Structure 1
């Protein structure tokens, strides 16, 4: 199971990613650690080294907002990663149970007869999907977990020409969106860590929520499709996200998607 010292492990991992030369630090003799030493980060954040040690070891898990802000600046965290970093210091709480997909959302999905769309939770479990989404990729079948599909399915690797970038985005979004204190999420992470690719990316501690983007598919029946991916939150069900794929009107991808859907009708 993943460690429960999420805050300490994050600080230590991000400290290791900062090159001392980038901070114009004097390099006297060999260094025993990658990146900054504790005393160097503590000095740049304006906190004591013993206190930083307690943070990294998980002795102190709820630093003040001022300390978090100072560390975020010293670690050069962007807005997304800073938000994730601050969430790690929040008091632990029991994660809410994700509700079932409502009938209204099911009807909405089914009404999009020419638009692939599905619903996932923040652990990347597919909760519902319309027929176009299931025809686009088997990983969108309800009951599948998208992170598991990305790292363990050979079919998905062939389907996604930009698999390395998709893998990075999936890991960063999973870290940013999932509740890592949730036991079910912990079991998922433990399973995913049996993948060397996942382990390497997870160790980077990148955290970026899903963004709207252009996503390419190399479909075995209709060839390549470039579809605009949009993520929509579900009102009253904050744990759920609706993902919609659209092709630019009149494009080759629109023609390919139309052929795919016609073949399955």
Structure 2
């Protein structure tokens, strides 16, 4: 994690010019961004201390130092929280709670009761634990509808973004979506730094996807839990939907992810048409 902290600080130093920080610069610079001594001065810490922090030789920075660095680097709220997590790590619990491998029955009942909303339940790794009929049809109609119930091969939204051509083709703005996925994954990795399966996912994608590796190295940090999304579905065309992500308050770390459209809009009509098409053709996905 110390390497992760150093990488993060270096990328954020690199995106700030001396002019942005109000520092007068003389002559050409070999690399863009602020020098270590300039950032240390802005944050009010010694160059030696900051260097130790960036090199991973200081493992528990004070709250005030982290806040000063965040201010100097002009971090977003998500980035600020991420920096605190890296620079002031909490001790690992003696026995981490075991997360349930499946969605709770009541959660499944909830998403099945939303026939006009595409809904999924995912864990912190973005493994899909459950989906309703419309969620499956909208995002993964090429996969077996029972896949979330099989831990050995259940779908993972992050993996699908970079290694599933069908899923990737659903995003006409794939570059933006991919950057958002990696930015959110950075936050998750900081919260679950001792999760070997999550580390394995990151390692797999770094090895097998040049796009992921480049984005991961750029160190984006942002949660992106809601907002407009365009889904380019092969059967009903472009749907302009609203994404909402809600963490369930049962201690599981599971999240409810929904894609919805306002009644009367073209996207709402397309969602209903998508479900109707499968009902008419005899699909067993009808609610």
Match of 1:103 among 89, 102, 105: 105
In structure 2, the gaps of 5 or more residues are: 149-153, 280-287
Alignment partners' CA distance in 1, 2:243 and 2:73: 31
Greater mean deviation of Cα atoms: 4-13 or 48-57? 4-13
Match of 1:244 in 2: 258
Structure 1 residue 111: Cα displacement: 1.8
Matched, 1:203 2:217: yes
How does the TM-score come out when normalised to structure 2?
A: 0.85
Match of 2:205 in 1: 192
Match of 1:113 in 2: 115
Two-structure CA RMSD over aligned residues (Å): 1.9
How does the TM-score come out when normalised to structure 1?
A: 0.92
- Residue 19 of structure 2 aligns to a residue whose secondary structure is helix
Structure 2 counterparts to residues 1-265 of structure 1, below 5 A: 5-88=3-86, 89-94=88-93, 96-99=97-100, 100-138=102-140, 142=148, 143-178=154-189, 179-194=192-207, 195-265=209-279
Alignment partners' CA distance in 2, 1:227 and 1:59: 46
Alignment partners' CA distance in 2, 1:134 and 1:237: 25
- CA, structure 1 residues 240+10, in 2 after alignment: closer, same or farther (shift >3 Å)? same
Structure 1 residue 136: Cα displacement: 0.6
In structure 1, the gaps of 5 or more residues are: none
Alignment partners' CA distance in 1, 2:171 and 2:184: 17
The count of aligned residue pairs is: 263
Alignment partners' CA distance in 1, 2:97 and 2:201: 17
Q: Is the 8 A contact 1:119 1:241 kept in 2?
A: yes
Q: Is the 8 A contact 1:4 1:181 kept in 2?
A: no
Q: Which runs of 4+ in 1 moved over 6 A?
A: none
